[in-house]
Amino acid sequence: MTRTAMHDIDPADRRRFLVLGSSAAMVALVGLRPAQATPDTMKAAIRDVVKDAVVRVGRVKLDVPPLVENGNTVPLTVTVSSPMTAADHVVSIYVFNEKNPQPNVGNFHLGPRAGRAQVSTRIRLADTQTLTAIAKLSDGSLWSATADVVVTLAACTEEAS
């Protein structure tokens, strides 16, 4: 007689049980959330940008140190070989990673007035991984480069002090 059994439970108890249950579910959710992006989520992020277009390898140079001690500040420079004229220039540069909590690193939008298609910044890397840079040109073509980085001290996930 499960029905009568249900009715026997004090509503306050049931509420407490529900609260307990939902907080347990929340803890489980937090625990289960993937701690890092995967090469697949990076591919999905890249697809969001490039849609169905073909990405060719070349013209892009992705400079990062091959071995970094501290993943909290990794110098990164992306250079695209382009005349940077009104007719032929780089429109955007996108940088992606495989293993940070999310696949995007940064998007940079420039134009013919840049003169030189080069951007530099400092980024965080949570793990040893491969970075991908994609450049979108004014004619719509897409070019890419990858770089492998070995990280000894990871960024992002340490406890806040």
Binding site for other proteins (CB under 8 A): 30, 72-74, 97, 100-102, 104-111, 113-125, 155-160
Residues 118, 119, 120, 125, CA torsion sign: negative
The minimum distance between CB 52 and other proteins, in angstroms, equals 22
Shortest distance (Å) from residue 54 CB to other proteins: 24
Assess contact for 153 and 70: CB atoms under 8 A.
yes
Considering the complex, state which of residue 39 and residue 101 has its C-beta at the smaller distance from other proteins: 101
Task: State which amino acid sits at residue 37.
Answer: A
CB of 57 to other proteins, least distance (A): 23
Cβ proximity to other proteins: between 127 and 142 the closer is 127
Q: Least distance in Å: CB of 14 to other proteins?
A: 27
Residue with Cβ nearer other proteins (55 or 101): 101
Which residue is associated with the tokens 């340490």? 158
| Phi, psi of 104, rounded to the nearest 5 degrees | -85, 140
Residue closer to other proteins, measured from CB, 39 or 106? 106
Per-residue buried b or exposed e for 31-62, using 16+ beta carbons within 10 Å of the residue's own CB: eeeeebbeeebbeebbeebeeeeebeeebbeb
